[in-house]
Structure 1
Amino acid sequence: MTTATATKRSGPQGPRAGGSTAGDGKGRIRRDGGAWFLVLPALIPILILSVGPLLYGIALAFTDAQSGRTRSTQWTGLLNFQDLLHDGLFWDSFRIGLVWAFGVTVPQFVLALGLALLLNANLRMRWLARALAIIPWAMPEVVVGIMWRLVYNPDAGILNETVRDLGLGDGRDWLTGLATALPAVIVVGIWAGMPQTAVALLAGLQNTPHELHEAAALDGAGAWRRFRTVTWPAIRPVALAISALNFIWNFNSFALVYVLTSGGPGGRTRLPMLFAYEEAFRYGQFGYAAAMGCVMVAVISVLLAFYLVGRLRGGEDA
């Protein structure tokens, strides 16, 4: 009697439980489908304009594609990459790209941190200083390049005029000198990208609780100690993120250096992007240029992997 009663009681519960699970599964499918429907308008342009060209460029790297409608494209496998291994000009441009990326990113961060600390202080007309600080960031890179070409002009540029007025010499041609071209371009890169880094660091500073600074000051901590124990730990995630992004953006720079020097003089400012551009659109070697692009994508992917691993480890430690 007890077994039968238990069976009768448990019998109806099985179908109801199963029906509930099936209903939840159907509801979850409907919710997922609705989410994908909302994401599609943003996802389709990314697939068409970013993922599609990237995959096409990777495929092109394994061919001998060249400019010209009558030329036939043949599959060459790893031949382009083998040629890159023995291309000294490409590896020279790669070295110049690393020097440029580090030479811009590191001073850019240091100066931006100082600017962010200054803009975070309680100064008069602080709102105006913040507005003026982002002007270089708001200007297109082509405009920045043209403006700085006028500054570096050997005959009527403001830099050489200042050098002459100070009695330091007759000035020099900064953008065509073998020893001065790359440093001159690095200065422009620092000036153009510093506001973006400063704005990101300023946001991190404003999210730092003011009570921590007050407590540290009551404990007798000086300005440097407060920065080291309170400010830096608070902005460290932002600093790492913006530095990694800046390095990637600087390594992939094209427009600014192209307007300033076009890779000259003698290839002293020929970044990898400029080298790939010349191979593709000046010499028509699309397959070879695509192989260069694949190498640069691989390098950037490795840097991103190191950054993400560091972020994950930092999150686990926290």
Structure 2
Amino acid sequence: MTVMVEDAPPELSPNARRRAKARSDRTTVYLLLFPALVPVVVLSVYPLLRGIYLGFTDARAGRNVDTSFTGIDNYRELVGDDLFWRAFQIGLIWALTVTILQFLLALGLALLLDQPLRFRGFGRVMALVPWAMPPVIVGIMWRLVYHPDAGLLNEVLHRLGADGLRHNWLGDFGTALPAVIIVGIWAGMPQTTIVLLAGLQGVQRELHEAAAVDGASAWQRFRGVTLPALMPVIVAITTLDFIWNFNSFGLVYVLTAGGPGGRTMLPMLFAYEEAFRYGNYGYAAALGNVMVLIIVAFLAVYLRRRLREANA
């Protein structure tokens, strides 16, 4: 009796095996990424796309409200909206002032914490305290500090005999924005300090020693050695700080809610008011789209600079 034996499958070539293994690895990677991508798509990508779409509609608050596509009508209205341009101007003043002063004060603090001082570790921990506090808590705390009757600031002025300087800091047209800027600097300085401190620790000590041997003063060593070495870190953190500050909402909302008289009305607060106070969802979405474009422009400038430095 003859026994039929099936032919063995042909052995794959090395290139075919590598291609098969690469396909298997890609499939595994996609399967592992899928659970993480689902919440990103549901909670980030879809709301972003939905917001972009709403910016081209006349969507309003309410149930069973008809929504129609209006093209660029919202953006035409935005261009002629003096309140928006006022909020945009205040947002630029806020973001630039807070970012610049944050950087200068954080740089000084980072230089101090980089020195071999006693309790340096404790100082570094305490520098992180404002960063660890939620913006709402920071806003409530500083509202108590600025309170016109029982606030800490006015109480200190009273005890110093300077009752003439006591003021309603958050309720006056002339002092509301500066008072909020001070809070923004205090709340945002820790992360800038830590980033700059990390950059300082990456500067080679040998360069400072060589400059000192050549007779360079402390200021000359800072300007000629420390500052150039820190420049990539400075560009990165100031760009990110500006974007974060321009997007500020929670801190200013708790402190002043945009008042008095719109003197602290940042662009994000203006969009919030249009959406949840007046129910103009379509117009508010258009405002949000404009803010996204502005932020993307700043990110593009930053990334272009970083790529240019990487290729240099």
TM-score over 0.5 (shorter chain): yes
- Aligned mates of 1:44, 1:243 — CA distance in 2: 32
Note if 1:258 corresponds to 2:258. no
- Aligned mates of 1:123, 1:80 — CA distance in 2: 57
Report how far residue 52 of structure 1 moved: 1.2
Q: Which residue of 1 aligns with 2:76?
A: 82
- Aligned mates of 1:187, 1:292 — CA distance in 2: 27
Candidates 150, 157, 171, aligned match of 2:151: 157
Q: Which residue of 2 aligns with 1:108?
A: 102
**Identity across the alignment (%):** 60
Report how far residue 112 of structure 1 moved: 0.4
Report how far residue 170 of structure 1 moved: 4.8
- Aligned mates of 2:129, 2:205 — CA distance in 1: 29
Q: Which residue of 2 aligns with 1:193?
A: 188
Q: Could you state the TM-score of these two structures normalised by the residue count of structure 1?
A: 0.91
The AA in structure 2 aligned to 1:95 is Q
Report how far residue 206 of structure 1 moved: 1.3
- Aligned mates of 1:67, 1:271 — CA distance in 2: 22
- Aligned mates of 1:178, 1:22 — CA distance in 2: 74
- Aligned mates of 1:98, 1:36 — CA distance in 2: 42
Q: Which residue of 2 aligns with 1:64?
A: 58
Report how far residue 308 of structure 1 moved: 0.7
Q: Deviations over 1:17-72 (max 9, x none)?
A: x9333332222222222233333333222222111111110011111111111211
Report how far residue 292 of structure 1 moved: 0.2
Candidates 191, 201, 222, aligned match of 1:227: 222
The AA in structure 2 aligned to 1:55 is L
Q: Deviations over 1:104-160 (max 9, x none)?
A: 000000000111111111000111111111101101111110111111111121211
> Which deviates the most, 159-168 or 100-109?
159-168
- Aligned mates of 1:72, 1:119 — CA distance in 2: 59
Note if 1:130 corresponds to 2:163. no
Q: Deviations over 1:146-179 (max 9, x none)?
A: 1111111111212112223333315110101111
Q: Which residue of 1 aligns with 2:141?
A: 147
The AA in structure 1 aligned to 2:309 is G
Q: Deviations over 1:236-270 (max 9, x none)?
A: 21211111111011000000000000000110100
Candidates 170, 177, 182, aligned match of 1:182: 177
Q: Secondary structure of the equivalent of 1:265?
A: coil
Q: Deviations over 1:173-210 (max 9, x none)?
A: 01011111000000000000001110111111112222
Q: Which residue of 2 aligns with 1:312?
A: 307
Unaligned runs of 5+ in 2: 1-9
Candidates 277, 286, 290, aligned match of 2:285: 290
Candidates 29, 32, 36, aligned match of 2:30: 36
Unaligned runs of 5+ in 1: 1-14
The AA in structure 2 aligned to 1:104 is V
- Aligned mates of 1:194, 1:126 — CA distance in 2: 18
> Which deviates the most, 66-75 or 154-163?
154-163
Q: Deviations over 1:65-98 (max 9, x none)?
A: 1111121111111111111011110111011101
Report how far residue 235 of structure 1 moved: 1.9
Q: Secondary structure of the equivalent of 1:203?
A: helix
- Aligned mates of 1:146, 1:211 — CA distance in 2: 47
